[in-house]
């Protein structure tokens, strides 16, 4: 029987694409999956609390369900002229171990004995930004500020800053994310424990 190789190759590629798009354990590159999203990956630089370069490239990945939910967030914010600026997504387990050595405090760093939502690809650190310029909106603190000022319940006197923090929390929670009470920038999917801890290095993604 004569085989049309062009058609065969097409169906093979289509099959792999379809399976990949439906696989909840697939890690998704956010800049390819979510139009207009912006990155400021601090751990790919020394501009972070460890003062070390922890990632081999400035990229952000999430598992497919988290990426889908984040895409919905971005789309809703765009109606306000806003967008998302991502600081971190998936994090290899080995990086979590390094962080714990520096800050062994579960309020601000994940205990390797439990693993992190970042290790599972279902947690994201982010803020709001102007859609056109990418300039971040005013928030109570900078990213990775390990003080009470970064807590969600910390009283903020500036109404603009308080409203920005509330908007971020409200829209993220609307689309299925849960906020970490000690970090206004950290959100994770509900029931994230079903996803395995991973230690895939960025150069392999």
The residues carrying an active-site annotation are 183
Cα–Cα–Cα angle for 137, 143, 149, rounded to 5 degrees: 90
For residues 138 and 128, is the Cβ–Cβ distance under 8 A? no
Helix/strand/coil for 160:
helix
Task: Report d(CA 24, CA 165) in Å as an integer.
Answer: 29
Q: Which of 197, 196, 76, 185 is nearest to 124 (CA)?
A: 185
Longest Cα–Cα distance in the chain: 76
Can you spell out the DSSP letters for 130-159?
ETTT-PBPP-SS-TT--SGGGSTTS--S-H
End-to-end CA distance of the chain: 39
Q: Which residue has the tokens 């390819």?
A: 32
């Amino acid at each position: 029987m004569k085989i049309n190789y062009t058609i065969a190759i097409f169906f093979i590629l289509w099959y792999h694409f379809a399976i990949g798009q439906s696989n909840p354990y697939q890690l998704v590159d956010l800049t390819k999956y979510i139009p207009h999203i912006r990155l400021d990956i601090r751990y790919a630089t020394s501009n972070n609390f460890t003062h070390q370069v922890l990632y081999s490239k400035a990229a952000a990945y999430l598992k497919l369900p988290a990426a889908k939910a984040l895409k919905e967030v971005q789309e809703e914010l765009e109606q306000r002229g806003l967008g998302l600026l991502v600081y971190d997504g998936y994090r290899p387990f080995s990086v979590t171990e390094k962080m714990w050595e520096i800050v062994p405090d579960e309020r601000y760093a994940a205990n390797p004995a439990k693993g992190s939502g970042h290790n599972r690809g279902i947690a994201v650190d982010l803020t709001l930004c102007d859609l056109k310029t990418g300039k971040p909106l005013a928030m109570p603190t900078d990213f990775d500020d390990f003080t009470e000022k970064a807590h969600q319940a910390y009283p903020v006197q500036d109404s603009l800053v308080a409203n920005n923090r509330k908007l971020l929390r409200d829209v993220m929670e609307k689309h299925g994310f849960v906020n970490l009470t000690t970090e206004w920038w950290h959100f994770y999917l509900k029931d994230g424990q079903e996803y395995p801890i991973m230690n895939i290095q960025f150069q392999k993604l």
